[in-house]
Chains A and B, each alone.
Chain A
């Protein structure tokens, strides 16, 4: 069973609203990454945190932001939601960046 848990599993928001998605990594995993997976597509890298600092970012606008906490939990925040933000959001963690990542089951976000 995966050691990465995400909450909530499903979420419906209205365009323009803000959302916070949460992830709890395996103990000892210093690296956490967030990915967006649109229906029928592969996951797209949003950003990565290593020991509470962002150290990599994909082609996503600044309204996508994140935090990583000392207790191996992390958050993805999205402001000013757009319809195209509807997707499965995945959290992945590893001991160090570059190890094999363990993914959570994701949060399915629907923006209406």
Chain B
């Protein structure tokens, strides 16, 4: 079983739709949570970074973390064609719990390909 599972699979939505992306994780040491956006032929770009349970909002994006359920989500409101990209969730352990061999390591989900059509 992978440490981080990301769903849904490829997603196609009309412009203006609300998009929900989700990840579950199994490692209780994960304390820091990120969402990255990756356009084709580009590196991942950090969208959201949070370390506490609850919601964090930034413009059209809301990141939600539920540590008790080991579940994180990213919501995109009023989706635009320019939001079409691969979205990756990523997690990192607390440095005190990470251990010497994985300090700073990000563990990613497999990504969700989002297409927003006009």
Query: Which A residues lie at the B interface, using CB under 8 A?
Result: 2, 4, 31, 33, 35, 40-45, 48, 50, 55-58, 90, 92, 97-98, 100-106
Closest to B32 in A: A98
The answer on a CB contact under 8 Å between B44 and A43 is yes
Looking across the interface, which residue of chain A has its beta carbon closest to that of B113?
A40
User: Per-residue CB proximity of B80-101 to A under 8 Å, as 1/0?
Assistant: 0000000010101001001011
Q: Which 6 A-B pairs have the closest CB atoms?
A: A42-B108, A97-B104, A103-B43, A56-B103, A45-B105, A105-B43
Closest to B98 in A: A56
* B101 pairs with A56, CB closer than 8 A: yes
Q: B32 — which chain A residues lie within 8 A by C-beta?
A: 98
CA of A4 to CA of B32, assembled, Å: 22
Least CB distance from B13 to A in Å reads 20
Chain B residue numbers with a CB within 8 Å of A105 are 41-43
Task: Determine the distance from Cα of A105 to Cα of B45 in the docked complex, in whole angstroms.
Answer: 10
By a CB distance below 8 angstroms, the chain B residues around A106 are: 42-43
Q: Are A43 and B105 in contact (CB under 8 A)?
A: no
Q: How far is the CA of A108 from the CA of B4 in the complex (A)?
A: 25
Complex Cα–Cα for A80 and B19 (A): 43
Q: Which residue on chain A has the smallest CB distance to residue B4?
A: A42
In the assembled complex, the CB of B30 is this many whole angstroms from the nearest CB of chain A, namely 12
- Contact indicator B110/A41 (Cβ below 8 Å): yes
Let me know if B53 is at the binding interface, CB within 8 A: no
Task: Assess whether B105 is in contact with A48, with CB atoms less than 8 Å apart.
Answer: yes
Q: Is the CB of A57 within 8 A of B106?
A: no
Q: A42-B6, A42-B88 are in contact. Are A58 and B43 (CB under 8 A)?
A: no
Bitwise, B40-55 to A at CB < 8 A (1) or not (0) is: 0111111001000000
Q: How far is the CA of A104 from the CA of B90 in the complex (A)?
A: 16
Output the nearest chain B residue to A4 by Cβ-Cβ distance: B43
Q: Are A101 and B106 in contact (CB under 8 A)?
A: yes
Q: What chain B residues lie within 8 Å of A102 (beta carbons)? A: 46
Please tell me if the beta carbons of A45 and B46 are within 8 angstroms of each other in the complex.
no
- Which B residue's beta carbon lies closest to that of A50? B104
Contact A58 B111 (CB under 8 A): no
How far apart are A34's CB and chain B's nearest CB, in angstroms?
11
